[in-house]
Chain A
Amino acid sequence: MTEVEKRYAELMDHLPVGVYRNTPGDEGRFLEANPELVAMFEAESREQLLGCRVNDLYVDPGQRKVFCEKILRHGFVREHELELKTLKGRRLLAEVNATLKRDKGGELYIDGVIADVTERKRAEADLRRACAELARSQKALKSTMRQLLASRDQLEQAQLGLIQAARFESVATLAAGVAHEVKNPLQIILMGVDYLDANLPPESGDLAGVVGDIREAARRANAIIREILELSVAARLDRREADMNAVVERSLTLVHYEAQAARVQVVRDLAPSLPPVLIDTVKIEQVLINLFLNSLQAMAQGGRLTVSTRVERARDAVRSNGASTVGEGGEHQFVAVEVRDNGPGIPRELLPKVFDPFFSTKPVGVGTGLGLAVVRKIIDLHEATIDLANGAEGGVRVAMRFRARSPTTSVMPVPDAPKRQRTAIRPASRKAAILEAR
């Protein structure tokens, strides 16, 4: 062996990749193999490896056929992956770079190098799995983030609502305490005014006017106090089954004279045979009267007040603790009440504030700013809904929805409709009289 041959032999022996020469075809055999290749295929010796068929080292001999066809067609293969097995049966993934050669006698042979890439491929597969997992996690994270952001928005809304409710409650409680204390001095003022009025000399001129002004001021103060107290005591509901149409009719009767005086035409559009609702009729009458009077005041030059009722079906629109009418598919039955006027409506920027306590669009001294706050509170206590908006054809449209009770699930007795008459006295038992002055 020449010096050059020795150097090449040494190079071959120490290369950390398998170097081989073999023959193509089904019966192809190794002609040369370096020690790395012998070790790679777990052969006892170089001779053992040279003694076996190349096909025997393939997990799938079909792959050998493909490999040979490829190298015979192109004369070489680059980075060709093969699934091979050692002589002891251990599987390995190999990457082959090989060239087709022809010897002096015209016989074909292949020179190539094989690298065991099992670990690298496993690592790559692991990496791919990790990447996929990461992508999934990222997607899940994004989804979670979206949910978190949505939850945060909801939380902020709920917080705002709570703050508003707490502020409302504390204002209402404080105001109610003050209002109660104010009633007694107010009573003294009214008694004094009554006395002065009865004892004014004839032709008293301005004196009578002054007394009248004081009386009006005291009445106004009393109206404010009454509504403040409504805010704090509205929680006491006496709910019974009732027919909403009858409640609407009674409420309309109570504003009959005001409607006439304002030259407002009242239009009833009441659906027949409404299912019963579980309400405090006195408080719902209070709600309706409040809405009617608001509309009447908004139509000082006359107009039209329309009240409609109808049955609606919806899913989960309103929470209710009472027995409810559940239709097919989990739908609930609701009784909807709508109050519409054709007044000037409310400026859009003011609409979000209309239910705030002490907010009023009426001239100073006309409204207390508590009417709609009380309305909202009563509606909330009934677990009903109320929406106030400007109508498509002008005016204000107030829509309320109450959950209906099944006519067959009568839990509470239906009382006789309370007979009410404004500023009227009727003897009751023990010669009692009702004094009602709105």
Chain B
Amino acid sequence: MKGAKKRVLIVDDEVSFTRLLKLNLEQSDGYEVQTVNAPLTALAEARRFQPELILLDVMMPDLPGGDVAAQLLADPALRHVPIIFLTAAIKKAEVSACGGLVGGLPFVAKPVEMKELRRVLDAYLA
């Protein structure tokens, strides 16, 4: 993957989480990560960063993840960027019971360990 870092945008209001996830992903050299803790700025940051994948929290103040996703999907330049919801609001069993998709969108249930999250990202970014 060297030389072709995958750009991942993380939108989550938990500063500690986004910081640690960024550190974990970037130390592998395979990812270039941008974090957003204020969901109202997510669309602008996505337009600027042009990510190849977006990890999006669901329950956030000011703007829920579903609304952020709607904004991103409405943008012609971002419409085809895969969005994965990463949330504590749903259980792993519920996610797996409906084939990893909730309302047609992929979900990953928190808490998730890096080993598992990397597999999901690799599957999407392959």
Residues of A within 8 A of B (CB): 180, 183-184, 186-192, 194-195, 198-199, 215, 218, 222, 226, 229-230, 233, 238, 282, 286, 418, 420, 423, 425, 427-438
- The proximity string for B residues 3-29 relative to A, scoring 1 for CB distances below 8 Å and 0 otherwise, is 000000000001011001101100100
Is B1 engaged at the interface, CB distance under 8 Å to the other chain? no
Is B74 engaged at the interface, CB distance under 8 Å to the other chain? no
**Which 7 A-B pairs have CB atoms at the shortest separation, nearest pair first?**
A183-B88, A191-B20, A187-B111, A194-B114, A432-B106, A434-B100, A436-B96
Q: Is there an interface contact between A428 and B99, defined as CB atoms closer than 8 Å? A: yes
- Of chain B, the residue at the smallest CB distance from A280 is B97
Is B116 engaged at the interface, CB distance under 8 Å to the other chain? yes
Known: A433-B100, A435-B120. A198 touches B95 (CB 8 A): no
Instruction: Specify which chain A residues have a CB less than 8 angstroms from the CB of B23 in the assembled complex.
Output: 195
Among A189, A423, A430, contact of B106 (Cβ-Cβ < 8 Å): A430
Q: Is there an interface contact between B91 and A282, defined as CB atoms closer than 8 Å? A: no
- The proximity string for B residues 88-111 relative to A, scoring 1 for CB distances below 8 Å and 0 otherwise, is 110111111101110011101111
- Minimum CB–CB distance for A373 against chain B, Å: 16
Task: Report the separation of the CA atoms of residues A430 and B20 in the bound assembly, to the nearest whole angstrom.
Answer: 27
11 contacts between A and B (CB under 8 A): A187-B111, A191-B21, A195-B24, A198-B24, A198-B27, A230-B91, A425-B120, A431-B124, A433-B100, A433-B119, A437-B92
Task: Report the separation of the CA atoms of residues A286 and B96 in the bound assembly, to the nearest whole angstrom.
Answer: 12
Q: Is there an interface contact between A186 and B100, defined as CB atoms closer than 8 Å? A: no
Residues of B within 8 A of A (CB): 14, 16-17, 20-21, 23-24, 27, 82, 88-89, 91-97, 99-101, 104-106, 108-117, 119-120, 123-124
**9 additional contacts (CB under 8 A) given A190-B111, A230-B91, A282-B97:** A187-B110, A187-B112, A190-B114, A233-B91, A233-B94, A430-B105, A431-B124, A433-B120, A437-B113
- Minimum CB–CB distance for B29 against chain A, Å: 12
Q: Is there an interface contact between A434 and B14, defined as CB atoms closer than 8 Å? A: no
Q: Is there an interface contact between B96 and A434, defined as CB atoms closer than 8 Å? A: yes
Q: Is there an interface contact between B111 and A183, defined as CB atoms closer than 8 Å? A: yes
Instruction: Specify which chain B residues have a CB less than 8 angstroms from the CB of A433 in the assembled complex.
Output: 100, 106, 119-120, 123-124
Interface class of chain A by DSSP? helix
Q: Is there an interface contact between B116 and A282, defined as CB atoms closer than 8 Å? A: no
Task: Report the separation of the CA atoms of residues A218 and B114 in the bound assembly, to the nearest whole angstrom.
Answer: 14
- Minimum CB–CB distance for B96 against chain A, Å: 4
Q: Is there an interface contact between A194 and B91, defined as CB atoms closer than 8 Å? A: no
Task: Report the separation of the CA atoms of residues A183 and B112 in the bound assembly, to the nearest whole angstrom.
Answer: 10
Q: Is there an interface contact between A437 and B116, defined as CB atoms closer than 8 Å? A: yes
Instruction: Specify which chain A residues have a CB less than 8 angstroms from the CB of B96 in the assembled complex.
Output: 420, 434-436
Instruction: Specify which chain B residues have a CB less than 8 angstroms from the CB of A190 in the assembled complex.
Output: 111-114
Among A192, A425, A431, contact of B119 (Cβ-Cβ < 8 Å): A425
Task: Report the separation of the CA atoms of residues A198 and B113 in the bound assembly, to the nearest whole angstrom.
Answer: 13
Q: Is there an interface contact between A418 and B27, defined as CB atoms closer than 8 Å? A: no
Q: Is there an interface contact between B111 and A218, defined as CB atoms closer than 8 Å? A: yes
Task: Report the separation of the CA atoms of residues A215 and B116 in the bound assembly, to the nearest whole angstrom.
Answer: 14
- Minimum CB–CB distance for B65 against chain A, Å: 14
Q: Is there an interface contact between B111 and A434, defined as CB atoms closer than 8 Å? A: no
Instruction: Specify which chain A residues have a CB less than 8 angstroms from the CB of B27 in the assembled complex.
Output: 195, 198-199
Q: Is there an interface contact between A184 and B110, defined as CB atoms closer than 8 Å? A: yes
Q: Is there an interface contact between A435 and B95, defined as CB atoms closer than 8 Å? A: yes
- Of chain A, the residue at the smallest CB distance from B126 is A431
Among A188, A226, A286, contact of B20 (Cβ-Cβ < 8 Å): A188
Task: Report the separation of the CA atoms of residues A184 and B18 in the bound assembly, to the nearest whole angstrom.
Answer: 11
Q: Is there an interface contact between B123 and A418, defined as CB atoms closer than 8 Å? A: no
Among B91, B94, B99, contact of A432 (Cβ-Cβ < 8 Å): B99
Known: A433-B100, A433-B124. A184 touches B88 (CB 8 A): yes
Q: Is there an interface contact between A434 and B17, defined as CB atoms closer than 8 Å? A: no
Q: Is there an interface contact between A186 and B99, defined as CB atoms closer than 8 Å? A: no
Task: Report the separation of the CA atoms of residues A176 and B123 in the bound assembly, to the nearest whole angstrom.
Answer: 32
- Of chain A, the residue at the smallest CB distance from B23 is A195
Task: Report the separation of the CA atoms of residues A188 and B108 in the bound assembly, to the nearest whole angstrom.
Answer: 15
Known: A188-B14, A188-B20. A425 touches B123 (CB 8 A): yes
Q: Is there an interface contact between A187 and B93, defined as CB atoms closer than 8 Å? A: no
Task: Report the separation of the CA atoms of residues A180 and B89 in the bound assembly, to the nearest whole angstrom.
Answer: 7
- Of chain B, the residue at the smallest CB distance from A431 is B124
Instruction: Specify which chain A residues have a CB less than 8 angstroms from the CB of B116 in the assembled complex.
Output: 423, 435, 437
- Minimum CB–CB distance for B22 against chain A, Å: 10
Q: Is there an interface contact between B114 and A191, defined as CB atoms closer than 8 Å? A: yes
Task: Report the separation of the CA atoms of residues A203 and B95 in the bound assembly, to the nearest whole angstrom.
Answer: 39
- Of chain B, the residue at the smallest CB distance from A180 is B88
Instruction: Specify which chain A residues have a CB less than 8 angstroms from the CB of B109 in the assembled complex.
Output: 435
Q: Is there an interface contact between A282 and B93, defined as CB atoms closer than 8 Å? A: yes
Task: Report the separation of the CA atoms of residues A184 and B82 in the bound assembly, to the nearest whole angstrom.
Answer: 23
Instruction: Specify which chain A residues have a CB less than 8 angstroms from the CB of B92 in the assembled complex.
Output: 226, 435-438
Instruction: Specify which chain B residues have a CB less than 8 angstroms from the CB of A428 in the assembled complex.
Output: 99-101, 106
Instruction: Specify which chain A residues have a CB less than 8 angstroms from the CB of B99 in the assembled complex.
Output: 428, 432, 434
- Of chain A, the residue at the smallest CB distance from B86 is A187
Q: Is there an interface contact between A184 and B14, defined as CB atoms closer than 8 Å? A: yes
Instruction: Specify which chain A residues have a CB less than 8 angstroms from the CB of B113 in the assembled complex.
Output: 190, 194, 215, 437
